[in-house]
């Protein structure tokens, strides 16, 4: 394939991948809203909802003994609630749309395979993972929303984000290769790994705090929401305090970058965006901790944490591509030249 065709295919692919990524983050937000509003069992069966592809809008449309039917299936407290049912149904519709978007992304990646087969392989892998995630979703419902299952489902969502970002970063290789990191502070790489470790630790602790929230909802009920925090075990306090370590370590990383590469380098811009995202995670976390766990803030906290994970992964990949850029022969030279100008592609 000639270079011009290669660049057009890459530009198209990147656009599609960004859209898909934004949609996946939107799904993470919608999924978390379902959980926070207690609508997870709004549809007690899967893939149908109350036995139909389009759920009912009133209890009268269900068999008179539907509670007995679902009790026999293991869902003893099933009670039709139109808002919860349609919230969960909307979540599933968004999920299906993501399936289509990822499928399209995989199709677009086909024309990039001569440039770099990893773009194609990772896009197909992301598509298969979304299928697996759909199946996992059915298991989450089947387990009656067991906290551990919700965690696995959420980690799978992050794995999909990571795989898409990997493909996208390969498609941006030429852009990053044109940005020198020759003057980067030598401590940067070491700090980046430390910070990645901190984030993984903080996210892991966060999932445990969330599992605890689910158990407290179960034992104390929704009405006592504002006192859930008082019943949290020690690891909630570790999670809360560790966010200061995460914040300051990232501020330090941003300082190293800006001092050595300046404000205009893509790595500096990504890192500064990351600082804003951490600010949002800390602010939403503090609101949960000090203002009685408002349900609306729960999805914001998860979204901020997921964005943080994605950004750090992208920074790591981008740094490696900038560092190895001049020695690699797999990126498109003309694209690198193009991005060296003012008009940097996405």
Q: Residue 217 interacts with ligand HEM (CB under 6 A)?
A: no
> Which of 10, 39, 278, 317 forms a contact with ligand HEM (CB under 6 A)?
278
> Which of 78, 123, 163, 213 forms a contact with ligand HEM (CB under 6 A)?
213
> Which of 157, 256, 261, 281 forms a contact with ligand HEM (CB under 6 A)?
281
Question: Which tokens go with 52?
Answer: 């139909």
Judged by CB under 6 A, the stretch of 7-15, 20-28, 100-108, 208-216 that binds ligand HEM is 208-216
The count of chain residues that interact with ligand HEM, using the rule CB under 6 A, is: 25
Q: What is the dihedral of CA 189, 195, 199, 204, to 10 degrees?
A: 100
Cα separation of 98 and 123, whole Å?
13
- Write out the binding residues for ligand HEM, residues 246-265 only, by CB under 6 A: 246
Q: Residue 285 interacts with ligand HEM (CB under 6 A)?
A: yes
Q: Residue 152 interacts with ligand HEM (CB under 6 A)?
A: no
Quote helix, strand, coil % in the chain, to nearest 5.
75, 0, 25
**Least separation, in Å, of the C-beta of 308 and ligand HEM?**
5
Cα separation of 122 and 154, whole Å?
20
- The mark string for 220-249 relative to ligand HEM (x by CB under 6 A, - otherwise) is -------------------xx--x--x---
Cβ neighbour number for residue 248 with a 10 Å cutoff = 11
Cα separation of 183 and 346, whole Å?
24
Is the Cβ of residue 201 or residue 340 nearer to ligand HEM in the bound state?
201
Q: Residue 133 interacts with ligand HEM (CB under 6 A)?
A: no
Residue the block writes with tokens 């996946």: 24
Is the Cβ of residue 6 or residue 88 nearer to ligand HEM in the bound state?
88
**Least separation, in Å, of the C-beta of 251 and ligand HEM?**
12
Cα separation of 89 and 78, whole Å?
16
Q: Are 112 and 12 within 8 A, CB to CB?
A: no
| 107 three-class SS | helix
Cα separation of 210 and 235, whole Å?
11
| 52 three-class SS | strand
Q: Residue 140 interacts with ligand HEM (CB under 6 A)?
A: no
Binding interface with ligand HEM (CB under 6 A): 32, 154, 202-203, 206-207, 209-210, 213, 239-240, 243, 246, 278, 281-282, 285-286, 288-289, 298, 301-302, 305, 308
């Amino acid at each position: 394939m000639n270079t011009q065709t290669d660049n057009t295919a890459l530009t198209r692919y990147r656009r599609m991948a960004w859209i898909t990524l934004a949609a996946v983050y939107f799904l993470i937000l919608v999924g978390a809203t379902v959980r926070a509003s207690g609508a997870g069992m709004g549809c007690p069966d899967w893939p149908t909802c109350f036995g139909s592809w389009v759920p009912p809008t009133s209890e009268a449309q269900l068999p008179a003994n539907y509670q007995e039917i679902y009790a026999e299936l293991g869902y003893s407290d099933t009670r039709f609630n139109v808002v919860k049912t349609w919230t969960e149904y909307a979540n599933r519709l968004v999920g299906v749309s993501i399936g289509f978007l990822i499928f399209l992304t995989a199709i677009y990646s086909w024309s990039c395979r001569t440039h770099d087969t990893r773009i194609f392989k990772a896009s197909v892998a992301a598509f298969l993972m979304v299928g697996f995630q759909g199946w996992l979703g059915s298991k989450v419902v089947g387990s009656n929303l067991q906290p551990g299952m919700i965690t696995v489902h959420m980690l799978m969502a992050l794995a999909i984000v990571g795989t898409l970002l990997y493909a996208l970063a390969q498609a941006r290789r030429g852009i990053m290769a044109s940005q020198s990191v020759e003057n980067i502070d030598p401590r940067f790489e070491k700090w980046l790994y430390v910070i990645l470790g901190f984030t993984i630790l903080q996210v892991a602790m966060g999932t445990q705090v969330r599992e605890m929230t689910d158990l407290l909802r179960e034992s104390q009920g929704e009405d006592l929401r504002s006192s859930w925090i008082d019943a949290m075990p020690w690891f909630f306090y570790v999670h809360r305090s560790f966010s200061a370590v995460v914040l300051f370590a990232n501020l330090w990383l941003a300082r190293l970058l800006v001092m050595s590469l300046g404000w205009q380098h893509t790595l500096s811009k990504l890192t500064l965006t990351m600082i804003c995202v951490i600010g949002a995670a800390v602010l939403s976390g503090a609101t949960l901790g000090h203002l009685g766990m408002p349900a609306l803030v729960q999805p914001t906290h998860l979204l901020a944490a997921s964005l943080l994970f994605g950004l750090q992964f992208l920074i790591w990949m981008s740094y490696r591509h900038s560092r190895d850029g001049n020695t690699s022969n797999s990126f498109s030279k003309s694209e690198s030249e193009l991005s060296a100008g003012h008009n940097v592609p996405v």
